[in-house]
Structure formats: C-alpha cells, structure tokens
C-alpha cells in the first residue's frame, strides 16, 4: 500500500538527502526522488506528480513550494512535510490542527516511518473526501447535460421524457458509448443548430 | 522586576525595524517585556508557528491574518491584527532586458508602465515574496486594470530575488527593501516604481497574534502594543534616522549592512545602476499620519482583493482590532482618528480629519486609477 506513493525530497545537503532516502526506502517507499535545486521545483512537481513533498521547516523555499502546490492541480496530491528537529508538542499540535505538515528529527530516521504513515493516513482521508466531492459534482453536471439532451430530443422528435432517455440509452449501447457521451454530443449539436 | 518573555516571530527585512527598535532601545523593557525576537525562514513557517502557539506574536504581511481568519491557504486560525507596523516600503522592478524593451518610462508612472507592459504583448513572469502579501495584491490590482497584460506570479524568497532576475527565472519583481536595491546594485534589474505609486497608503506589515491568546492575555497585549507603538514613533522621527540605521545595521536580528538599510529608511531609492537616487515621499511610514492605526477599511480592501464575500469581509474587518488600539494606546497620548473606517482611495491630498485631539492629518490614500472603495457601514 505504501509502495504506490511518490515522495519528493527537497534538500540541498547531499548527506542528508541520502539519509532521508535510505530511511524511506528501508521503510518500504521506493518511488522517491530528491531535488536539490528549487529552480526546477515547478517542473518536477508537474512531471513527477509527488503525493508527498518532504522539505525542511527551515528551508526558505517553503513559500515557493506552497505556492506551486496551491497553483497547480497537484493540490489534491502533494502534501508538504517538514523535516526538522524533534519537537513532539509541535508535531501533535500540527496533527490536531490538521496540517499536512510534520516535524521529524532529521537524525533519528527510525521515526520517519510512523510519522509518514500517519501523514499518509490523513492524506488518504483528504484525498477520498476530495474525490467523493469531485464525483458528486461530476454526477450533478452529467445530470444537467442529460436533462438538456432529453429536452432537445423531446422538442425535436416529439418524444416523451422516458422515450427520449430510452433513445439515448439505445444509441449509447449500439455505439458502445456512455449515455453521458451521447448526451454531450446532442447538446453540442443543439447549440450549433440553435 | 521579572519580565514577561514574549516570543515574537519576524522575517529579516528592513521593515521589521519597529520590533528590533522596541527590543534594542528598551521600549519593551520599559513595559516589563522581554521581547524574544525569533527569525523565521519563510512566511509559511512563521504562519504555522504562530497558529501552533510556538510564537506569541509576529510581524506579518498585512493580508496574512485576514487570509488565515477567513480560511485561505495553510492553517486556518483566528488571527488578530493589533496594529500596523509599516505602510508602503515595496518596489516594483524589471530585469535589464525588460527595461530595454519598455523604453524610457518616468519613475513612478504606474499608468504608462502598465500600457508599455501591455504593448509588449507577451506573457511575463513576476516574482513576489508570498501569495498572501500586499506585493501580490497590488500587482494583481494594478495589472488587472489593463486587458492584455499576461502575468504569471512566481513566489521567490526576497533574498533570492536578485538571483532569480539574473538567472532569467523572472522578468520582473515586486519586493520589499532592501532586496529591490540589491538587484539594482548588482546591475541585474531596475526599479520602475514603488508600491505607493499604485496605492498611496498601503498597510504593509502588521503586528499579529492569535485571537484566543489576545483575549486571554489582555495585559501582555497592552504592554506589547505600547512598546511597539513607542518604537514606531521613535523610528519615524527624522532626527532619529541616522541612529536607527546604525542600530539596525549592527543588529544580529537583521543581518543587513547599514548601506542596505539606508535607502528604505531615508526614502532615497536608486532606480538604476547608472542613475542617482530619487527622494520618494513616504517610501516607508512607521508612525505618522495614523500609520499604526488598523483601519477596518484596509482589512475590507484586502479581503475583497482575496475574493471574499460580504460575510468574510465583515469577518476580516473584525480582525483589525481598532478597539484594542484605542483602548491600549490612548493613555500614551496617541491621537486617534474619529472613525475606524474610511472610503479607501478618496484622499488625493493630505487631509485634516476629526481625531481625539481635535484633528489629525491623514496622508493621501489614492489608487493609481482613481478608484474608491466604500465598505460601509462605517462603524
């Protein structure tokens, strides 16, 4: 389960990068990429599409990272996680406040696993809530499109509502498409013809 | 006497001066406070540390407490603005290459500059320090006034702005001092105007604290506000500028040399490497013209720029604690404006308004395009 997560480590110190990557790898996360230069962050976030970004709390590039994750579609995926000296109070406070931010002692790599696992659990809940929300929104949009297409058929062909829907469904099945695709095509055509 | 220790976060820029002076010149000690100034590596880090209770108070970009209070970006937390620390103090500059393409534009002519940028007809990358900053809001406000200006906002930590310009990562920048002057000194960019050329009286940095902490510690809040108010007043006196520059230049809290601090504090901005300095009126204002007063209409303007609805604008107004300002600072003899809100953008000239001492002079607050913003009812 953990293995399917992509983790990006933003850190300039090569020794520390190795340490963090080793800790992640031995904890079972293999899809790990390290980035030393902030100048490539924008592109890397887009291309690598990390689920989690690890960055030092003291790294001044955090504002840039935050802006990139906010501005791009990766908002749903990227979680910033900050590696710094151990401070349990801060970790707890961050957790209870619902931040996707953590504090991990950079030198005690054995702590990275439990902390990351909690982060991932939280992140999965957030992602699920987001995808449920997206699905609900999409269903609503589809509903509207299908209603418009039905209305068009009812007017143009003098069909009842049930027959209009039946015709779209039959067309969809005959052509191996989804009802929403047929409805979309109809709505587009209706807009062109009006 | 044992002093109350107060952890106060800041980002080392010239306009953190009121906090440094409050500590170094004993304004805090006079109020029985030990102001523990804790430098923060980024605005996001400062924001999280304040929200999580690791900082009692902090210097913030004026939009930050509002963004946090209405739940935008990062940790949602009710954050109050106790007072404004500084007004204005930012510059807009372009790379040498872009300056060449723009041709000669008079320094500070926001309107012509915008027309020239639109005339180039190409997208531009513009560096700002943080998304929830006055820099970014002024940039958005200014450029959205002209169709055809295509900009991409890039967040760059201020100390690295000159590098980003030199490396071609950004075509232009909106940054606080000294980092605009640094780009000029390194001959990688030119300063075209100051933030005041877009909005003449923009609240830049504020003193902020968590709303629950503020209500639980009324006496500490009062003493903190008095200390910082005293420091801001001292800083804005012309005769104190040389000493202020020296103190700030030596301060471990700022870690900038005196010659980098000088342009901002004296308002002598050098637009280009081969040009002489220009005197900019009210380049940064720490105290005069009610600069410290947390106008509720400023909060409303910021919230509106952030896309807030009427309910959120009302919430934003309540973050700017004019009530505490009046209650805690009146005994220092601070002159208070009669109203807590005004029609933003309506003052074209210095104007006398009713105040607790009779009348006070407010500085111009006009926008470059002459628009005005009324967020009444004025309470």
What is the nearest CA distance from A61 to chain B, expressed in angstroms? 7
Judging contacts by C-beta atoms under 8 Å, the chain A residues touching residue B151 are none
Q: Could A94 and B52 be called an inter-chain contact, meaning their C-beta atoms sit closer than 8 Å?
A: yes
The confidence score (pLDDT) of residue A105 equals 45
DSSP-derived 3-state class of residue B192: strand
Q: pLDDT band for position A118 (50/70/90)?
A: low
Output the six-digit token pair for B286.
């720490």
Burial of A80 (0-12, 13-18, 19+ CB in 10 A): buried
Q: How many CB pairs under 8 A join A and B?
A: 61
CA distance B248 to A177: 70
Mean pLDDT by 10 residues, chain B (379 residues): 89 95 96 95 88 92 95 81 98 97 96 95 95 97 92 92 94 96 95 98 98 97 98 96 94 90 95 92 95 97 95 95 96 92 94 91 96 81
At the topology level of CATH, where does B4-88+202-258+283-338 sit? D-Maltodextrin-Binding Protein; domain 2 (3.40.190)
For residue A56, the distance in angstroms to the closest alpha carbon of chain B comes to 10
- What SS3 class is residue B309? coil
Most confident stretch, A115-124, A153-162, B218-227: B218-227
Best A40, A46, A63 member to test B by mutation, with max B CBs in 10 Å, is A63
Contact B94, B79 (CB under 8 A): no
Minimal Cα distance from A80: which residue of B? B74
Q: What CATH fold (topology level) applies to the domain A2-107?
A: Rossmann fold (3.40.50)
3-state SS, B50-77, equals HHCCCCCEEEEECHHHHHHHCCCCCCCC
Report chain B residues whose CB lies below 8 A from the CB of A70: 73, 131
Selecting from B41, B75, B156 the residue whose C-beta is nearest the C-beta of A99 gives B75
Q: Return all residues near A63 (Cβ < 8 A) that are at least 6 apart.
A: B42, B43, B44, B129, B130, B131, B155, B157
Give the model's pLDDT for residue A66.
Answer: 77
Q: Of A35-49, A144-158, B200-214, which one has max mean pLDDT?
A: B200-214
pLDDT on residue B1: 58
Q: Does A59 touch chain B (CB under 8 A)?
A: yes
pTM exceeding the 0.90 threshold for the entire prediction: no
The arrangement of secondary structure in B90-201, i.e. its CATH architecture, is: 3-Layer(aba) Sandwich (3.40)
Show me where the domains of chain B are located: 4-88+202-258+283-338, 90-201
Map out the domains of chain A as residue ranges: 2-107, 135-193
Q: Band the pLDDT of A73: cuts 50, 70, 90.
A: low
Q: Determine whether domain A135-193 maps to CATH 1.10.10.10.
A: yes
Please compute the mean of the pLDDT values over residues A157-180 and round it to a whole number: 93
**In this model, does residue A83 exceed pLDDT 60?**
no
Chain B interface includes A101 (CB < 8 A): yes
What was the pLDDT predicted at A91? 56
Identify the pLDDT of residue A101: 46
Q: Chain B, 27-66: which have a CB under 8 Å from a chain A CB? A: 41-45, 48, 51-54
Tell whether B156 is within 8 A of chain A (Cβ): yes
pLDDT bracket for residue A38 (50, 70, 90)? confident
State the pLDDT confidence band at A102, using cuts at 50, 70 and 90.
Answer: very low
């Amino acid at each position: 389960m953990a293995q399917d997560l992509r983790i990006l480590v933003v850190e300039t110190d090569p020794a520390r990068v190795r340490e963090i990557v080793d800790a992640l790898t031995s904890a079972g996360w293999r899809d790990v990429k390290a980035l030393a230069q902030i100048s490539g962050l924008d592109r890397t976030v887009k291309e690598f599409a990390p689920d989690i970004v690890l960055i030092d709390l003291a790294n001044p590039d955090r504002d840039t990272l935050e802006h990139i994750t906010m501005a791009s579609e990766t908002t749903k995926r990227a979680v910033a996680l900050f590696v710094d000296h151990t401070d349990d109070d801060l970790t707890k406070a961050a957790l209870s406040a619902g931040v996707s931010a953590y504090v991990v002692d950079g030198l005690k790599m054995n702590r990275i696993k439990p902390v990351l696992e909690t982060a991932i659990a939280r992140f999965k809940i957030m992602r699920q809530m987001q995808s449920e929300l997206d699905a609900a929104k999409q269903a609503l949009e589809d509903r509207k499109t299908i209603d418009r297409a039905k209305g068009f058929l009812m007017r143009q062909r003098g069909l009842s509502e049930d027959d209009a829907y039946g015709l779209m469904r039959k067309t969809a099945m005959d052509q191996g498409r989804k009802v929403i695709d047929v409805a979309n095509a109809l709505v587009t055509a209706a807009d062109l013809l009006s | 006497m044992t002093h109350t220790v107060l952890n106060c976060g800041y980002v080392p820029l010239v306009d953190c001066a009121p906090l440094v002076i409050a500590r170094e010149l004993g304004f805090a000690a006079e109020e029985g406070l030990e102001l523990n100034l804790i430098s923060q590596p980024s605005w996001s880090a400062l924001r999280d540390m304040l929200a999580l209770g690791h900082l009692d108070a902090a210097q913030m970009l004026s939009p930050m407490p509002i963004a946090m209070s209405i739940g935008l970006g990062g940790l949602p937390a009710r954050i109050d603005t106790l007072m404004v620390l500084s007004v204005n103090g930012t510059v807009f500059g372009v790379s040498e290459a872009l300056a060449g393409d723009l041709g000669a534009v008079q320094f500070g002519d926001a309107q012509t500059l915008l027309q020239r940028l639109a005339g180039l007809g190409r997208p531009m990358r513009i560096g700002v320090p943080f998304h929830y900053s006055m820099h970014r809001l002024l940039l958005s406000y200014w450029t959205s006034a002209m169709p055809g200006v295509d900009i991409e906002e890039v967040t760059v930590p201020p100390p690295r702005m000159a590098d980003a310009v030199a490396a071609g990562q950004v075509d232009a920048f909106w940054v606080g001092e000294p980092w605009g002057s640094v780009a000029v000194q390194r001959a990688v960019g030119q300063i075209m105007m100051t933030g005041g050329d877009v909005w003449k009286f923009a609240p830049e940095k504020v003193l902020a604290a968590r709303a629950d902490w503020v209500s639980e510690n009324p006496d500490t809040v009062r003493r903190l506000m008095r200390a910082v108010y005293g420091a801001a007043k001292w800083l804005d006196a012309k005769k104190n500028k040389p000493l202020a520059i020296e103190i700030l230049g030596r301060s471990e809290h700022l870690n900038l040399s005196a010659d980098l601090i000088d342009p901002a504090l004296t308002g002598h901005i050098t637009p280009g490497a081969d040009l002489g300095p220009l005197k900019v009126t009210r380049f940064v204002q720490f105290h005069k013209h009610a600069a410290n007063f947390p106008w509720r209409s400023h909060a409303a303007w910021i919230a509106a720029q952030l896309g807030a609805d009427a309910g959120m604008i009302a919430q934003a107004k309540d973050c700017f604690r004019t009530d505490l300002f009046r209650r805690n600072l009146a005994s220092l003899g601070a002159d208070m404006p009669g109203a807590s809100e005004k029609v933003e953008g309506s003052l074209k000239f210095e104007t006398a308004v009713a105040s607790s001492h009779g009348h006070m002079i407010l500085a111009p607050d006009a926008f470059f395009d002459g628009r005005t913003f009324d967020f009444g009812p004025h309470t």
